[in-house]
Amino acid sequence: MSTTTADHTEDHAHAHGHGLGEAVTHDAAKFGMWLFLGTEILLFGGLFAAYALFRAKYPDLFVEYHKNLDLEKGVFNTFVLLFSSFTMALAVLFAQRKKQLYTTIFLAITFVCGAIFAIVKYFEYAHKFEDHIYPSKNIFYALYYMTTGLHMIHVFIGMIIILALLGMNMKGKFVKGRYTPVEVGGLYWHLVDLIWIYLFPLMYLIG
């Protein structure tokens, strides 16, 4: 292969810099996150496939037992998560515009929304356990606990990410124009929201 070096070209500065350029890092990080989100969808895709199979097999079971789910809490949580996606988007916007304070506020609101979601979910689960409804009760509940439980783990991971983003923002990282982490973290949070948007009707709104 014929090669020459990049000496004395426009790339000179870039070629000698040992890190990658900011633009390349930004693009790479976003691209990487999108790929990762694809794997998340396939992860949940397995559960959705199991859901499709068992619902087709036992339609009555699903209609019967979904009535025991707490629809009000489900609706409330759906709006909480939807709102959190909105605040997350605002946090990204303000980080890009280098408004440190607003970024902090909206990241914090997003975090609180995640916490509210988790607390409501805790009461939902606790109530089910009081009634001795465990995953082993039947296929519907097994699916309910598996899907919402796995989603809950994702909410927690998302909240940890938001905490890390808050820390970065406090240190003034985004103000310097390096807002890639908040954008990538935002993508993750939107996915967590999106999965719930599918889970909610599939579990709570049958029949």
Query: At its nearest, how many Å lie between other proteins and the CB of residue 144?
Result: 11
Supply 79's token pair. 């709006």
Of these, 13, 31, 75, 82, which contacts other proteins (CB under 8 A)?
A: 31
Instruction: Give the rounded distance of the alpha carbon of 53 from its chain centre.
Output: 26
8 A C-beta contact, residue 162 and residue 85: no
Binding mask 68-87 for other proteins (x = CB under 8 A): --------------------
Of these, 5, 126, 131, 176, which contacts other proteins (CB under 8 A)?
A: 5
Neighbours of 161 (CB within 10 A): 20
d(CA 50, CA 143): 8
Distances from the Cα of 196 to the Cα of 41, 51, 74, 121, 147, angstroms:
12, 15, 10, 12, 9
Secondary structure (3-state) at 172: coil
- The answer to whether 157 contacts other proteins (rule: CB under 8 A) is no
Binding mask 128-147 for other proteins (x = CB under 8 A): ------xxx-xx--x---x-
> Among 14-22, 67-75, 103-111, 192-200, which window interacts with other proteins (CB under 8 A)?
14-22
d(CA 36, CA 195): 14
8 A C-beta contact, residue 193 and residue 154: no
Binding mask 34-63 for other proteins (x = CB under 8 A): -xx-xxx-xxxxxx-xx--xx--xx--x--
- The answer to whether 160 contacts other proteins (rule: CB under 8 A) is no
* Binding positions for other proteins, rule: CB under 8 A: 1-7, 9, 11, 14-16, 18, 20, 24, 27-29, 31-32, 35-36, 38-40, 42-47, 49-50, 53-54, 57-58, 61, 134-136, 138-139, 142, 146, 150
